[in-house]
Amino acid sequence: MSVIVNYLTDSRDVVQAALDDQTFIASVGAIADAITASLRDGGKLLTIGNGGSAGDAQHIAGEFVSRLNFDRAPLPAIALTTDTSVITAIGNDYGYESVFKRQVLALGRPGDVLMAISTSGRSPSVLQAMDAARENGLTVVAFTGLSGGDMPARSDLVLHAPSNATPLIQQIHITAAHIVCGIVEAALFPRPEA
């Protein structure tokens, strides 16, 4: 039982730390504004990550394409973690570090947003994609942990989860992404009752 209580306590504490961090809150708002502006101007959201962060990238893209809080038109978002033929071809021909970079070069356009997710901030495949995105006029948003690793220098906007523990960082990432998606859909599809 103590393992359960300890984890739930840690979970509560990291959410409280995010709630108390004005920089964190401002970052969530700025990220939502950047994505809203891109989508309003005909851009799209590209999401990337490895392992659990790949699952988060897919989850986030799904919320934009389908819906989060209410029925509305779909929003253009693509998780670059899902096409096994593309990923394995790039991995085989160019090395795993290029699996997202090549897709960003193929699919990204100036004005799009790349949401790069890495709890450590040191994933080579994510960092290479961020560099390619910046060089090609995409807005780069980083979701990372407390230190940020090498991501902040490659980003336009950074969301630092207030933790060094991977599971807790991931928990904050998906919570923040839900908030971002909710803000974006409310901005693009205002409802009279809201």
> Does 43 appear as a known binding residue?
no
Q: In this structure, is residue 137 part of a structural domain? A: yes
Q: What is the SS3 string spanning 100-127?
A: HHHHHHHHCCCCCEEEEECCCCCCHHHH
Q: For 96-100, 128-132, 153-157, 190-194, which range has the lowest pLDDT when averaged over its residues?
A: 190-194
Q: Is residue 103 part of a domain?
A: yes
- If one counts the domains in the chain, the total is 1
* pLDDT computed for residue 194 by the predictor: 56
CATH code of the domain containing 167: 3.40.50.10490
- Residues constituting the chain: 194
The pLDDT confidence band at residue 114, using thresholds 50, 70 and 90, is very high
Is 123 annotated in a binding site? The answer is yes
Please tell me whether 27 is known to bind a ligand. no
Residues 44-74 pLDDT 10s: 999 999 999 999 999 999 999 999 999 999 9
- Say whether pLDDT at 193 is over 80: no
Tell me whether residue 120 is annotated as binding. Answer: yes
160 is in an annotated binding site: no
- The answer as to whether 193 is a domain residue is no
Give domain status of residue 194, yes or no.
Answer: no
pLDDT at position 41 over 90: yes
